Amino acid sequence: MSHTTLATVLFLLFVVGTLGITFWASRQNKTAADYYAGGRSFSAAQNGLAIGGDYMSAASFLGIAGLIALYGYDGFLYSIGFLVAWLVALLLVAELMRNSGKYTMADVLAFRMSPRPVRTAAGVSTIVVSIFYLLAQMVGAGALVGLLLGITSDSGKALTIVGVGILMIVYVVVGGMKGTTWVQIVKAVLLMGGATLVTLLVLGKFGFNLSGLIGEAAAQSGKGTAFTEPGLRYGTEAQGIWGKFDLISLGLALVLGTAGLPHILIRFYTVPTAKDARKSVLWGIGIIGTFYLLTLVLGFGAAAMVGSEAIRAENAAGNTAAPQLALAIGEAIFGEVGGTILLAVIAAVAFATILAVVAGLTLASSSSFAHDLYAHVFKRGEVTEKQEILVARISAFVIGAVSIGLGILAQAQNVAFLVALAFAIAASGNLPAILYSLFWKRFNTAGAVASIYGGLGSALILVIFSPVVSGRPTSLIKDMDFHWFPMENPGLFSIPIGFLCGYIATRMSKEYNESKYAEMEVRSLTGVGAEKASTH
Amino acid sequence: MTTQHHDSSVYEQIRATDRFQELRRRYRSWAFPMTVAFLVWYLLYVVLSAFARDFMAIKVLGNINVALIFGLLQFVSTFYISWAYSRHSAAKLDPLADELRGEIEKADK
């Protein structure tokens, strides 16, 4: 049996299993709290695994392993930023958000503001961030399929992306948050299992000598000791001073983005209390941190055993390094059959990863459309739960279709890099408004609207006029050059702009609601009046 | 599923009590300085990666250099701060928050 057949069989098993879970979950979905927040009845450990499942995306698994394999140390920078970011979520956001919100990020932002403008802004920003993130996952799916099924034609890749898109729509539309959460849990266990297995095999091969592994990776990379130092990919000496600022911009976006990602924020609503939200983040940090330590070994292992030439030949951005490593290490230890099996397992796990994250993102953005834009803005709250959920399901279809289309268009980018852009946009558009509304008494409607549009808009504009979009051989549009912004990541400018817009607009408007802030503070710290778990 | 709707003035009264102010102080005086600390520590690492490459390249143990150790220390500090926060919450925040919530909900019935 070839690895293609085996991987397809394993992946189909995952699909059948998770579809079973999804339909089982759909029979328990009765209320809006069930659909949007899984009835708020997941345990802290379950939600912690689901947080890991939502967060350890194709970007983490394929993208970071690939960056480390090709550029050595610089890929590790991503892991560190992605992990430290969880402290912002743990210390400042998770519990307070669980206590004062209901289904979406906008619930917290609109708590003491004039609801319609704030919900509109937050809904728009949720959907934009989610679509950027979705795009990255879809590109990952396209990269995998070439290696996995031997499909290299553009139409074949496009077909895979369509398939992934349709599956995720089914998960979300049928299973809601409950089904999606279980898919995340299953996927997190599979991913941790797969990554641990390959890591142990790689370490075993090098006699559990980390220094030896690193030495071999550096030697095989053809870059010598530079491979183990920062600067091969970001802030290279050739890029000059702007390259170095770009590195700092990336670092800032990574650390401040997590607590502004809508699909992560709604995870805090799926547990019964704020205490459980805290515990689930602790579980999440443990799982995610361990996973990034594993990817360090995977990346160096791929550099040492596969070699950067072979990786680049398969996928120029490095997205296939981890599955290629699985094949190489399997062959080296168990012979040809072993390599085939290991490649199939890792490829199926990677597919499962993409599918699950994509489902989480679709849920977050369609929930925000239905709950924030449709129910509260268009219908001014005059809508039944049934209608609202119907709209949520329809918008899941539409968002799924949009991300399928965009995914087909953007095949040549590294997925970790695309995700970094989504983080920059989340950190600029969402985080300032979230922190201000939780902690700043004087914050008001004008400030919330200005910080969201200011941060989101400046991040988008800077990306459009950056070398990512035009002016370089690796740009999205190759034949034109309209870039004037020297950096790839906008965070260094757009995050302060988001904070500044919020501050200035707040100061310029006299409005603010003292008593609602008192209510928010008391509720967010004590948990009085927090949404309860459903009892069925 | 019920959500209590208090008169907003009730919350203002609670907010003005010494015990609530104490809860607020215990939360903020731990979380805010710690946030500043881990952000500074992380940004120091990022800035050194960009501007102090010779320092980061110093080999400490075999092929393991300062950059790698610095990166791994970020993992250690993240795990430690998470653990410390959960200890702080369990000891100093949860009992007081539970007490206040119990009283408010009791007064409600």
Nearest by CB: A518 against B1, B4, B8: B8
- pLDDT: is B109 or A224 the higher one? A224
Q: Please, are residues A68 and A299 in contact by the beta-carbon 8 Å criterion? A: yes
pLDDT computed for residue A424 by the predictor: 92
CA distances B21 to A110, A504, B34, B105, Å, are: 24, 28, 20, 19
Q: Do A289 and B75 touch (CB under 8 A)?
A: yes
Q: How far is CA B88 from the centre of its chain?
A: 9
Q: Please, are residues A246 and A489 in contact by the beta-carbon 8 Å criterion? A: yes
pLDDT computed for residue B1 by the predictor: 38
pLDDT computed for residue A406 by the predictor: 79
* Residue A237, domain extent: 3-408
Examine residue A507 and state whether it is found in any structural domain, yes or no: no
Examine residue A402 and state whether it is found in any structural domain, yes or no: yes
Q: Do B67 and A80 touch (CB under 8 A)?
A: no
Q: Do A529 and B38 touch (CB under 8 A)?
A: no
pLDDT computed for residue A412 by the predictor: 62
Contacts of B63 in chain A (CB under 8 A): 211-212, 214-215, 218, 225, 228
Nearest by CB: B35 against A88, A247, A285: A88
Q: Which tens digits make up the pLDDT trace of B49-104?
A: 999 888 998 988 888 899 999 999 999 999 999 999 999 999 999 999 999 998 88
Q: Do B20 and A525 touch (CB under 8 A)?
A: yes
Residues in CB range of A473: below 8 A, 6 or more apart: none
Examine residue A535 and state whether it is found in any structural domain, yes or no: no
Does B49 lie at the interface with A, CB-CB under 8 angstroms?
Answer: yes
Report d(CA A133, CA A128) in Å as an integer: 9
Q: Do A515 and B24 touch (CB under 8 A)?
A: no
* A60 exposure class (CB count in 10 Å sphere: 0-12, 13-18, 19+): buried
pLDDT computed for residue B2 by the predictor: 41
Q: Do B12 and A518 touch (CB under 8 A)?
A: yes
- For chain A, which ranges sit under pLDDT 50? none
Nearest by CB: B47 against A81, A248, A531: A248
Contacts of B46 in chain A (CB under 8 A): 77, 81, 247-248, 251-252
Q: Which tens digits make up the pLDDT trace of A181-236?
A: 998 999 999 999 999 999 999 999 999 888 899 889 888 888 888 888 888 887 77
Q: Which tens digits make up the pLDDT trace of A75-89?
A: 888 899 999 999 999
CATH number at residue A247: 1.20.1730.10
Q: Do B4 and A525 touch (CB under 8 A)?
A: no
Report d(CA A418, CA A129) in Å as an integer: 11
Structurally, chain A folds into a number of domains equal to 1
pLDDT computed for residue A335 by the predictor: 87
Contacts of A279 in chain B (CB under 8 A): 86
Q: Do A515 and B8 touch (CB under 8 A)?
A: yes
pLDDT computed for residue B3 by the predictor: 46
Nearest by CB: A528 against B61, B82, B101: B101
Q: Helix or strand or coil: residue A35?
A: helix
This prediction's pTM: 0.92
Report d(CA A323, CA A350) in Å as an integer: 8
Q: Do B15 and A522 touch (CB under 8 A)?
A: yes
C-alpha radius of gyration, chain A, whole number: 22
Examine residue A438 and state whether it is found in any structural domain, yes or no: no
Nearest by CB: A282 against B82, B94, B105: B82
| Residue in chain A nearest B64 by alpha carbon | A211
Report d(CA B53, CA B48) in Å as an integer: 7
C-alpha radius of gyration, chain B, whole number: 22
pLDDT computed for residue A503 by the predictor: 97
Which of B27, B29, B42 to mutate to test binding with chain A, by most A CBs within 10 Å of its CB? B42
Contacts of A293 in chain B (CB under 8 A): 75
Examine residue A133 and state whether it is found in any structural domain, yes or no: yes
Contacts of A247 in chain B (CB under 8 A): 46, 49-50
Does B61 lie at the interface with A, CB-CB under 8 angstroms?
Answer: yes
- HEC assignment per residue over A421-472: HHHHHHHHHCHHHHHHHHHCCCCCHHHHHHHHHHHHHHHHHHHHCCCCCECC
Report d(CA A414, CA A418) in Å as an integer: 7
Examine residue A137 and state whether it is found in any structural domain, yes or no: yes
Examine residue A518 and state whether it is found in any structural domain, yes or no: no
Q: Do B15 and A229 touch (CB under 8 A)?
A: no
Give A374-422 as a DSSP string.
IIIIISTT---HHHHHHHHHHHHHHHHHHHHHHHHH-TTS-HHHHHHHH
Q: Please, are residues A443 and A506 in contact by the beta-carbon 8 Å criterion? A: yes
Q: Helix or strand or coil: residue A43?
A: coil
Examine residue A96 and state whether it is found in any structural domain, yes or no: yes
Q: 């995870």: which residue's tokens?
A: A267
